[in-house]
């Protein structure tokens, strides 16, 4: 089923929500588009039947980032892009479902930051990544400054931020910034393959894993253990106490696929 909003199209496929940014010519993002994207991610988050989201674009661009035409028409540099931050995802920290960015082309500025906010990135061979903000008098403050140095070597991240250096898909793969690089006509299929694999796992385990990864990032291993065991990450305890935690071993012992209930 497809549902066209304005700049964003939603398609459901067996528990996977495909979110497509379709705003020619460059899939640039203004406040209204950020709000549409947030509504899409909110749909993913709130629907128990949905397990994984995929965000992708149309045409030559994944996204050119902030809509400079809107800026020229008066949209403020520090405009409120809604509860999920720029592009609806970059500050959606309470999202409980994983998101895969299927980067079909140029991911520029805020478009790159949107991809960085996803859990996994699958890239087309046509994908290119760069942060040009400093060259136009701004900063990549929707995640580029914070996420990129955690995703690739910090010195290289600094070079990209300070110079606008571009990164091609194969370099991104070599640096583990992206999970896969595929030909353009295989991009969505590859992203769906990853999404379907994730969707076969227990939903509470996926939610807990995402929370633990996010909240322990940057901590020493011992500190991470202390935080995880402290009870400060409720989704971890929820997973441990769930029916699904019993169902998994039972299904394995019985030689059948588990039937997850999400409780």
pLDDT value of position 1: 41
Strands 106-108 and 128-130 turn out to be: parallel
Per-residue pLDDT of the chain (263 residues; tens, 9 = 90+): 444 458 999 999 999 999 999 999 999 999 999 999 999 999 999 999 999 999 999 999 999 998 877 766 656 677 778 899 999 999 999 999 999 999 999 999 999 999 999 999 999 999 999 999 999 889 999 999 999 999 999 999 999 999 999 999 999 999 999 999 999 999 999 999 999 999 999 999 999 999 999 999 989 999 999 999 999 999 999 999 999 999 999 999 999 999 999 88
pLDDT value of position 72: 60
pLDDT value of position 5: 52
Helix-, strand-, coil-residue percentages of the chain, each rounded to 5: 45, 20, 35
d(CA 12, CA 2): 7
Retrieve residue 49's tokens: 């039947």
Q: Which residues are catalytic?
A: 113, 133
Q: For residue 148, what are the contacts with CB-CB under 8 A and spacing of at least 6?
A: 116, 131, 140, 157, 160, 161
Bridge partners, residue 21, by sequence: 8, 57
pLDDT value of position 70: 73
Q: How many CB atoms lie within 10 A of CB 64?
A: 24
Retrieve residue 98's tokens: 């994983």
Element (H, E) at 3: strand 2-4
CATH fold group of domain 2-199: 2-enoyl-CoA Hydratase; Chain A, domain 1 (3.90.226)
Q: What are phi and psi of 83, to 5 degrees?
A: -60, -30
d(CA 101, CA 191): 8
pLDDT value of position 4: 41
Answer whether 0.95 is exceeded by the pTM: no
């Amino acid at each position: 089923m497809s549902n066209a909003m304005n700049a964003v199209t939603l398609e459901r496929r067996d528990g996977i929500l495909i979110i497509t940014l379709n705003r020619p010519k460059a899939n640039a993002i203004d406040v209204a588009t950020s709000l549409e994207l947030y509504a899409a991610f909110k749909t993913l988050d709130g629907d128990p039947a949905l397990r994984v989201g995929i965000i992708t674009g149309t045409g030559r661009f994944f996204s050119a980032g902030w809509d400079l035409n809107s800026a020229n028409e008066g949209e403020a540099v520090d405009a409120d892009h809604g509860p999920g931050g720029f592009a609806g995802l970059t500050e959606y920290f309470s999202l409980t479902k994983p998101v895969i960015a299927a980067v079909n082309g140029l991911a520029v500025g805020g478009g790159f930051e949107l991809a960085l906010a996803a859990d996994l990135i699958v890239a087309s061979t046509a994908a290119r990544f760069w942060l040009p903000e400093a060259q136009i008098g701004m900063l990549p403050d929707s995640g580029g400054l914070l996420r990129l140095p955690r995703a690739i070597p910090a010195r290289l991240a600094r070079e990209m931020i300070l110079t606008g250096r571009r990164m091609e898909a194969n370099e991104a793969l070599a640096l583990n910034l992206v999970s896969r690089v595929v030909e353009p006509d295989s991009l969505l299929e590859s992203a769906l393959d990853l999404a379907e694999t994730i969707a076969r796992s227990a939903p509470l385990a996926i939610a807990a894993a995402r929370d633990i990864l996010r909240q322990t990032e940057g901590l020493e291993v011992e500190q991470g253990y202390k935080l995880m065991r402290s009870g400060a990450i409720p989704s971890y305890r929820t997973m441990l106490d769930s029916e699904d935690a019993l169902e998994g071993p039972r299904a394995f012992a019985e030689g059948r696929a588990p039937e997850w209930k999400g409780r």
